[in-house]
Amino acid sequence: MSQIITITSDWGNTDFYAAAFKGAILNIDPTLTIVDITHRVNKFDINNAAYQIKNCYYFFPKGSIHIIDVNQTPITNKDNAKHYIAFKYDGHYFLCKNNGLMYLICDNSANIEKIIRIKNLKNENHHTFRALDAFVHQASMLAKTDDLSSIGDDYPIENLTTFNVSESNIRYNPSTNTLAFKVKHIDSYGNIITDLKRADFEKYANGRMFNFSSNCNHESAMCKITNTYTAADPFFVFNTNDYLEIGSNGSDFAAVLSLSNRDFTQWNLYITFLSTEQ
């Protein structure tokens, strides 16, 4: 079977970047299979990049190579953040910048098998398109060798950029029976993917219906979780990755709430559980 290389980036779809990058890889080995995860990650948003790749990489065969080219310079460790790294996790290879993305992708960093600093194998210097220098020959070589040592040297863990992941946004107020949470992502249909996982919801729900509201003055009464995207308006369903998803049948629910992928971090969402008598 052909080796698989996936690409996740914030390059967008209106420029030549993705085509040039894939062409450069195929020029080295035309037998490789290249899959675009997305090139519409929010610009410089490594949280969004991590969300995209961590929710789909495991659908690919073990040994697949995942390139993530989204750069956000951290406040600290700026010198080491210029380095490109590769690591093996859960049987998959990941290539990215040393900007904290690794820790956002890996739920359990103890399961990371190996980390290397990527070498510029051809001593090329594409000043305005560094991904060509950091990933093209390296991914092609890795596909051939299945060995991270072939594209770089072991990287000291103390040089890794950590990312200060904020504490959980999930808050429960027992006096009001209210669960507060945040928007994690808005998909192309306008469905709102929240950061509320099924286990956190069920911890407090006890099968009760609920009212839904937000700090953008939207309210929906007598709601419940469904297993279909058409049963209610708005609907509340746990998606493939067990995040609570909120949408509206046949329309853009994010637009109803005046949300966009560029400003949704400021919005708070609330579920208030109803008493069992209601």
What confidence tens digit (pLDDT) does each residue in 82-136 have? Answer: 899 999 999 999 999 998 899 889 988 888 999 999 998 776 776 689 899 999 9
Q: Report the CATH superfamily, name and number, of domain 171-273.
A: Bacterial fluorinating enzyme like (2.40.30.90)
Which pTM value belongs to this model? 0.83
What confidence tens digit (pLDDT) does each residue in 68-85 have? Answer: 999 876 555 567 778 999
Residue 91 burial (C-beta neighbours within 10 Å; 0-12, 13-18, 19+):
middle
At residue 201, the pLDDT reads: 95
CB neighbour list of residue 147: distance below 8 Å, 6 or more residues apart = none
At residue 262, the pLDDT reads: 60
- What are the sequence ranges of the domains in the chain? 4-159, 171-273
| Positions of E strands within the chain | 4-9, 33-38, 65-69, 84-89, 92-97, 112-118, 152-154, 171-173, 178-186, 192-197, 210-214, 219-223, 235-238, 243-247, 268-273
The CA distance from 208 to 188, in Å, is 30
What confidence tens digit (pLDDT) does each residue in 191-229 have? Answer: 999 999 999 999 999 989 999 988 766 667 667 777 665
pLDDT > 50? residue 278: no
Tell me the CATH number for domain 4-159. 3.40.50.10790
What confidence tens digit (pLDDT) does each residue in 97-110 have? Answer: 998 899 889 988 88
The residue with greater pLDDT, 13 or 163, is: 13
For residue 169 the two structure tokens come to 């946004």
What sign does the CA torsion over 44, 46, 51, 57 have? positive
